[in-house]
Amino acid sequence: MAKVFVMDHPLVQHKVTMLRDKNTSTKDFRELAEEISLLMAYEVTRDLPLEDVEVETPICKTVAKTVAGRSLGIVPILRAGLGMVNGMLKLVPNAKVGHIGLYRDPVTLKPVEYYCKLPADATDRTLIVVDPMLATGGSAIAAIGFLKARGCTNIKFCCLIAAPQGLKALQEAHPDVDIFIAALDETLNDHAYIVPGLGDAGDRLFGTK
Ligand code: PRP
Ligand code: URA
C-alpha cells in the first residue's frame, strides 16, 4: 500500500483554518490555496533523487548535490485543481503542467473525461495530480485511472482536504499512488460535501457563487 502523508506543519494547519472560514474572500482563498500548495510541494518532492555535480564556489571547487532522475508533471483536475498549480510551480518551476477535466454523467453517475492534455513525455515523468478536495474519491480515482490508461505509471495525489471515505476509496483503487493531504476531515454529508470541509472549492476559488 502506498503512503499517506497528512501535513502536520503548524503553518499549513493555520492556513487551512483560514481557508475553511466562510468569511474568507475569494482573493484570500486563492492566495491561501496557493501558499498551502507550495508548502505541500516541499513534502511531495521529499523523495526526489539527488546526484553529485561539481560546482566552483568563490572559494574552491567542490562536489555538491543536484536533483536527478525523473522530471515532474503537475496535473490539476479541472476546475478547482487549477488553484493548486501556481503554488507548486513556485517550488518546482521546471515542472510541466497537464490538465484533466471530468464530469459526472447524470444518468450513469460515472465520471466522464471531457478534456485531457498532458506533456508529450508524461509517461517518463512523475505526475502530481492535484485537486483541493477528495470527497467520495470518484474524481481522483477516475483521473488517475485515465492517466494510467495513457501509460503513466509514476503518480502521486495531492489535496488540501480529504474525507476518510475518499481516502479509503483512493487507496483501494490505486494502491501504488502516494497521497498527500493538508487536513483529514471527519466525514461526508448527505450531499457528498466534506464535513467540516470548506464548501465548494471551485466556487470559492473562482467566485462563482
Ligand atoms: C470538486 C473537487 C473534486 C471533486 C471531489 O470538483 O474539486 O474534483 O469535487 O469530489 P469527489 O471526491 O466526490 O469526486 P467539482 O466536481 O465540484 O468541479 P469543479 O472543480 O468544477 O468545481
Ligand atoms: N467538492 C467540493 O468542492 N467540496 C466538497 O466538500 C466536496 C466536493
* pLDDT, tens digit, 9 for 90 and up, residues 76-98: 999 999 999 999 999 999 999 99
Catalytic residue, chosen from 47, 104, 121, 208, is 104
* Regions of the chain short of the pLDDT cut 50: none
Cβ(140)–Cβ(170) under 8 Å?
yes
202 phi, psi to nearest 5 deg? -60, -45
Distance CA 16, CA 10 (A): 10
C-alpha cell at 121: 513525455
Distance CA 4, CA 202 (A): 24
pLDDT at 25: 98
Distances (CA, A) of 165 to 20, 131, 138, 157, 201: 20, 16, 10, 16, 18
Q: What is the pTM of this model?
A: 0.96
Cβ(182)–Cβ(36) under 8 Å?
yes
For residue 201, give the ligand 2 atom closest to its CA. Answer: 3
**Among 22, 77, 133, 159, which residue has the most ligand 2 atoms within 8 Å of its CB, making it the best to mutate?**
133
